[in-house]
Structure 1
Amino acid sequence: MASVERDETREQRIETEIVVDAEDKEDRAMGWYYYLDDTLEFPFMGKWKKKSRKTSAIEEKAVEVLGMAPEDDCLKDMYVEVAYIGGKEDDIHSAKLSEIEAIDVDDETQEAIADWLYWLGRGYKF
């Protein structure tokens, strides 16, 4: 069941720009991958909100979002590579884009992330 109301503008963009020629799951995943890779303005600051494995409480970490994770990692969900603020330079992690709250990003980046969250909220699958 969709937890987000249908938005015709987003539906149109998804259908005509993101998954336009997709014939299968992999095509849809790659449509999303390239849309996000082309539209998100990297790097940007964000908060990584994820559940703690030990307590199941939501942990927030300040991160710099560096770019999309490799294509092969994004066949089931969209992942970005992040670095903790103040962390070691080579300490890079993959995070689900849906767990990132973008901070002070341009309108296109905000809209692309909102498109992805809409897709998930509507219950759509690759």
Structure 2
Amino acid sequence: MYAFENFITVTPEDLDELNHVNNVRYVQWVQDVAKQHWQNDASKAVLENYFWVMLNHYIEYKNPAVLGDTLKLKTYISDYKAATCTRVVEISHNDLLVAKSQTTWCLMSAQTKRPARITKEITDLFA
């Protein structure tokens, strides 16, 4: 299983009134790292022919993140079914799990704007 990683540092704009990272920010980061993974590994032709939409999203918060924390966002695909995949994102700070998400994404055809079966070419990007 191939995992893509990125690092971010918590800024004042990421915080809620308790001075912890706001829940909405985690959802944004999950979406951002998924997009980065896709754009980093997919060919220009694949990027022109397909895009992903989020179908459902589950996130579990384990530990708070605060101002100045450097967070590792690690993402990988755990399962494929026809036109959908399950993407996991683990957010950690100093090897302590901060949050973990599971999101179901649907592959869409750029031409038809309808679901498209995930091909071997696409699954190989994440193997």
TM over 0.5, yes or no? no
The structure carrying a bigger helix percent of its residues is 1
Q: What is the TM-score of this pair, normalised by structure 2?
A: 0.31
Q: What is the TM-score of this pair, normalised by structure 1?
A: 0.31
